[in-house]
RNA sequence: GGGCGGGUGGCGAAGAGGCUAACGCUGAGGUCUGCAAAAUCUCCAUUCACCGGUUCGAAUCCGGUCCCGCCCUCCA
């Protein structure tokens, strides 16, 4: 397992502190707004890495913080005339909705700044006691000069930074590069008591404190976006290592940016897309697929067509899942020896599984790994297309293959349960029956009219005469499968009678309402349109 | 100015010394089908920004040139 380490600028073999245990800390969002797509990238990629490590047998202890005390939160709360802590709380809840939608699993701990103030104060006191920090009028600063390794992560030297300093200069600081550990509060601002008066923590100290508190003085992997390398992570290293005298994190991982027209998507440029809005237009699994279809360190340019492409590509993979489900008649696959064609097939699946693992072992190359998943999809489809489903050997072979396929897809987290609004779709479909019925009535085909009436009665739906509208008289919506099956049945009869126009009317109408019909050798299959 | 990363087909994107330069989208054609869809099969980069060099061999290494992005200030 190799990981690209920002600290050394090289890919390195992963050697964990304890065998098969990984301590992982990923910087989480500042909760003053809904997250945008750029925020979603680290979320998704590190979730995928965590899943992969677990798949490889590691026990992963995963911590992701919330920055719920921050100037931006305070300002926004003031603008909206509300309490900063409840504003932060609200956006933490919204964050979880987005994360859940993207199939991002919860961290083992989601610590918040506001819940770790005493520990932060202790840390600042300790830094002062060790000479790494100094107080000026209620503010406490980190004395960068005192930490000789400063700059080792971002590859800069203190000398260069002092020379090229064009940072705002707070005259009270000993050096322009010194940064705040504790900020004094203005009148009426959110604050906590401290030895230096009322105030709140600076931005960087929280991560040092929470990482150490929940994971220990040295952790295996610390992750976050590229822009955090400097100053945030550089400062975290300085603080943590000044406190403990030990290496803070052995591997630093940073994801690349999402760009729009090749420009960084960021809040300050205003070119960001709120994830919530994107999820209105595209299925969440397509968004997740899009985010992992490119290597995590590369920049990723965003526009709608990319999500559309992701949707289609993922649809191909999911279609294989459907084909398998239809092919498989039972789950019995144990104790059957695969021979001949089945054995060759299984071997190629195993080969692709190994290729997948090899790709992921190389710095989590999800893009390459996905390629093998597509090849696996081809293999499975082709095998199914050429095989008799009544054979126990074929059943076993496909069963084993799809299990591997599904497991690997789940490692990437791209196989989510479809969340279709079935009620809405059923509501859209029922009028097709009404329309068919009224057409039949015009033609004097009363047998057919009665057939439909009986069916509707069965599923507790009324047709309002004259208007062709369907009205439910049950509190429960009819099962979508039952309704679609009925339409398929009607269409089959029409096809037998070669009344293709009407048959196509049914297929087209369903299509418009989100249901796709496919005529296969095994009969008609249906699926939801947006997969 | 300093630090970092990148330029691969119509598009997206892997590949980091030697297999036919993965895979996806798009497009073309065949099989299947009443048609469509799905599936399947085949085709679509003599060439990897440019110029030199190292090497038996370079998209991959080295030097130079030209572009592009990011960080150096809150930002994932």
Q: Which two tokens stand for residue A486?
A: 């009925």
Clarify whether residues A198 and A224 are in a common domain.
yes
Q: Do residues A103 and A284 touch, judged by C-beta distance below 8 A? A: yes
- The CA distances from residue A398 to A215, A315, A341, A413, A528, in Å, are 43, 19, 12, 22, 23
Which of the nucleotides lies closest to A35 (Cα–C1')? B76
pLDDT score at A464: 74
- End of a domain among A362, A394, A412? A412
pLDDT higher at A477 or A50: A50
Residue A382's CATH number: 1.20.120.640
pLDDT above 80: residue A36: yes
Q: What is the pLDDT of residue A32?
A: 92
Number of domains in chain A: 3
Q: Distance from first CA to last CA of chain A, Å, rounded? A: 34
Q: Quick one: CA torsion of A153, A105, A406, A53, rounded to 10 degrees? A: 40
Burial of residue A160 (number of CB atoms within 10 Å: 0-12, 13-18, 19+): exposed
Q: CA A70 to CA A77: how far, in whole Å?
A: 11
Is residue A268 included in any domain, yes or no? no
Q: Is residue A98 part of a domain?
A: yes
d(CA A390, CA A262): 53
- Hey, is A26 helix, strand or coil? strand
Residue-level pLDDT at A331:
67
What's the CA A425/C1' B29 distance, rounded, in angstroms?
A: 37
Q: What is the span of the domain harbouring residue A138?
A: 2-255
Q: Return the nearest residue to B33, CA–C1'.
A: A519
Alpha helices in A134-173 (DSSP H): 158-163
Q: Would A260 be classed as within a structural domain?
A: no
Q: What is the b/e burial string over A78-102, where b = at least 16 CB atoms within 10 angstroms of the residue's CB?
A: eeeeeebeebbbebbebbeebbebb
Nucleotide nearest to A313 (CA to C1'): B24
Pairing verdict, β A258-260 and A300-301: parallel
Q: How confident is the model at residue A288 (pLDDT cuts 50, 70, 90)?
A: very high
User: Straight-line distance from CA A236 to C1' B67, in Å?
Assistant: 36
Burial class (CB in 10 A: 0-12, 13-18, 19+), A140: buried
**Are A65 and A180 part of one and the same domain?**
yes
- Closest residue (CA) to C1' of nucleotide B14 is A368
Nucleotide nearest to A382 (CA to C1'): B40
- Is A224 contained in some domain? yes
Q: pLDDT tens for residues A56-111? A: 999 999 999 999 999 999 999 999 999 999 999 999 999 999 999 999 999 999 99
Q: Are residues A399 and A449 in the same domain?
A: no
Among all chains, which residue has been given the structure tokens 């297929």? A507
How far are the Cα atoms of A103, A186, A230 from residue A86, in angstroms, in the given order?
Answer: 26, 20, 30
Distance (Å) from CA A290 to C1' B49? 27
Half-sphere exposure of A27 (CA within 13 A, CB side): 23
| Chain B bases closer than 7 A to any CB of the protein | 1-6, 12-15, 22-26, 32-41, 68-76
Nucleotide showing the shortest C1' distance to residue A168 CA: B73
Domain membership of residue A517 (yes or no) is: yes
How many angstroms is C1' of B42 away from CA of A517? 27
Q: What is the mean pLDDT of residues A249-277?
A: 90
Tokens of A186: 């203005």
Is pLDDT of A194 > 60? Answer: yes
Query: pLDDT (tens digit, 9 = 90+) per residue, A379-436?
Result: 999 999 999 888 889 999 999 999 999 999 999 999 997 777 888 899 889 999 988 9
Considering A412, A430, A453, which residue would you say is the last residue of a domain?
A: A412
Query: Tokens representing A273?
Result: 């897309």
Read off the pLDDT of residues A209-241 as tens digits, 9 standing for 90 and up.
Answer: 999 999 999 999 999 999 899 899 999 999 999
Q: Tell me the pLDDT band of A463, cut-offs 50, 70 and 90.
A: confident
* Residue A160 vs residue A59, higher pLDDT: A59
pLDDT of residue A477: 85
A368 and A459 belong to one structural domain: no
CATH code (residue A142): 3.40.50.620
| CB-based contact A59:A17 (threshold 8 Å) | no
Q: Are residues A216 and A145 in the same domain?
A: yes
Q: Based on the domain organization, do A401 and A427 belong to the same domain?
A: no
Phi, psi of A224 (to 5 degrees): 165, -175
The position carrying tokens 């020379």 is: A163
Q: Quote the pLDDT of residue A417.
A: 79
CA A204 from chain centre, in angstroms, equals 26
- Least confident stretch, A140-144, A190-194, A296-300, A436-440: A436-440
Q: Is the pLDDT of residue A520 over 80?
A: yes
Supply A204's token pair.
């960087």
Cβ proximity of A275 and A44 under 8 Å: no
Nearest partner of A37 among A273, A257, A264, A260, judged by Cα: A273
Q: Is the pLDDT of residue A167 over 90?
A: no
Phi/psi of residue A68, nearest 5 degrees? -110, 5
- A467 pLDDT band, cuts 50/70/90, is low
Round and report the angstrom distance from CA (A245) to C1' (B21).
49
Distance (Å, whole) CA A391 – CA A397: 10
Name the nucleotide nearest A230; use CA and C1'. B71
Among A325, A326, A315, A314, smallest CA distance to A520 is for A326
Domain-embedded: residue A100:
yes
- What's the mean pLDDT in A107-117? 96
- For residue range A175-188, list pLDDT tens digits in order: 888 999 999 998 88
Nearest residue to B40, CA vs C1'?
A382
DSSP annotation string for A233-264: IHHHHHHHHHHHSS-SEEEEEEE--EEETTEE
* Residue A248 pLDDT greater than 80, yes or no: yes
Distance A503 CA to B7 C1' (A): 52
Secondary structure of A162-226 in HEC code, one letter for each residue:
HHCCCCCCCCCCCCCCCEEEEEECCCCCCCECCCCCCEEECCCHHHHHHHHHHHCCCEEEEEEEH
Nucleotide nearest to A70 (CA to C1'): B74
Peptide bond between residue A465 and the one before it cis (omega within 30 degrees of 0): no
Query: Within 10 Å of residue A520's Cβ, how many Cβ atoms?
Result: 10
Separation of CA A298 and C1' B52 in angstroms?
29
A77 and A142 both lie in a single domain: yes
Same domain, A147 and A173: yes
The values of phi and psi at residue A377, to 5°, are -60, -45
- Output the CA–CA distances (angstroms, integers) from residue A345 to A327, A397, A439, A478, in the order listed: 16, 8, 51, 41
Confidence check: pLDDT of A164 > 70: no
How many Å apart are A232 CA and B3 C1'?
Answer: 16
Q: Are residues A329 and A197 in the same domain?
A: no
C-beta of residue A223 within 8 angstroms of C-beta of residue A46: yes
Q: What is the ipTM of this complex?
A: 0.95
Q: A289: which nucleotide lies closest, measuring CA to C1'?
A: B24
Nearest CA to A448 out of A491, A509, A500 is that of A491
Residues A504 and A447 both lie in one domain: yes
Same domain for A473 and A330, yes or no, is no
Residue A293 lies in a domain: no
Mean pLDDT, rounded, of chain A:
91
Give me the CA A180–C1' B71 separation in Å, rounded: 20
Domain assignment present for residue A214? The answer is yes
Q: What percent of chain A has pLDDT over 70?
A: 96
- Domain end among A239, A255, A271: A255
For A34-69, what is the HEC assignment?
CCEHHHHHHHHHHHHHHHHHHHCCCEEEEEECEECC
| Same domain (yes/no): A429, A450 | yes
Looking at residue A41, its pLDDT comes to: 95
């Amino acid at each position: 397992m190799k990981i690209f380490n920002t600290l050394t600028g090289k890919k390195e073999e992963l050697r964990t502190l304890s065998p098969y245990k990984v301590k992982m800390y990923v910087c989480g969002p500042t909760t003053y707004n809904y997250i945008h797509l750029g925020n979603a990238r680290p979320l998704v990629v590190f979730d995928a890495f965590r899943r992969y490590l677990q798949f490889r047998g590691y026990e992963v202890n995963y911590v992701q913080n919330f920055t719920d005390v921050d100037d931006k939160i305070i300002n926004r709360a003031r603008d909206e005339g509300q309490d900063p802590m409840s504003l932060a709380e609200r956006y933490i809840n919204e964050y979880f909705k987005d994360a859940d939608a993207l199939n991002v699993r919860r961290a083992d701990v989601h610590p918040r700044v506001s819940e770790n103030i005493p520990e932060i104060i202790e840390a600042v006191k300790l830094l002062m006691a060790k000479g790494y920090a100094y107080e000026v009028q209620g503010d406490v600063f980190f004395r960068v000069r005192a930490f000789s390794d400063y700059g080792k992560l971002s590859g800069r030297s203190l000398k260069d930074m002092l020379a090229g300093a064009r940072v705002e200069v707070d005259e009270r600081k000993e050096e322009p590069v010194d940064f705040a550990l504790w900020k004094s509060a203005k009148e009426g601002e959110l604050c906590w008591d401290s030895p230096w008066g009322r105030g709140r923590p600076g931005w960087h100290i929280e991560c040092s404190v929470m990482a150490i508190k929940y994971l220990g003085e040295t952790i295996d992997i610390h992750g976050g976006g590229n822009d955090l390398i400097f100053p945030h992570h550089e400062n975290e290293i300085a603080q943590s290592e000044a406190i403990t005298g030990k290496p803070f994190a052995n591997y630093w991982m940073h994801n690349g940016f999402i760009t729009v027209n090749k420009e960084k998507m960021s809040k300050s440029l205003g070119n960001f897309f709120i994830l919530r809005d994107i999820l209105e237009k595209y299925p969440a699994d397509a968004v997740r697929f899009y985010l992992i279809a490119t290597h995590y360190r590369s920049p990723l340019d965003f526009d709608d067509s990319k999500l559309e492409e992701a949707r289609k590509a993922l649809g191909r993979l999911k279609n294989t899942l459907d084909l398998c489900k239809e092919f498989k008649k039972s789950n019995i696959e144990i104790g059957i020896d695969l021979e001949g064609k089945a054995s060759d097939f299984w071997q190629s699946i195993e080969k692709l599984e190994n290729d997948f693992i090899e790709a992921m072992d190389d710095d989590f190359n999800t893009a390459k790994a996905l390629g093998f998943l597509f090849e696996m999809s081809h293999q499975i489809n082709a095998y199914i297309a050429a095989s008799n489903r009544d054979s126990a050997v074929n059943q076993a072979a496909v069963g084993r293959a799809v299990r591997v396929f599904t497991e690997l897809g789940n490692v990437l987290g791209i196989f989510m349960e479809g969340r279709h609004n079935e009620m809405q779709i059923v509501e859209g479909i029922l009028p097709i029956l009404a329309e068919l019925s009224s057409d039949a009535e015009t033609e004097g085909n009363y047998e057919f009219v009665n057939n439909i009436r009986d069916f509707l009665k069965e599923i507790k739906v009324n047709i309002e005469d004259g208007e062709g509208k369907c009205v439910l008289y049950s509190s429960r919506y009819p099962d979508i499968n039952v309704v679609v099956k009925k339409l398929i049945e009607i269409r089959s009869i029409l096809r037998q009678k070669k009344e293709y126009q009407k048959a196509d009317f049914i297929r087209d109408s369903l299509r418009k309402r989100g249901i796709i019909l496919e005529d296969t050798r095994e009969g008609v299959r249906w699926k939801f349109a947006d997969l």
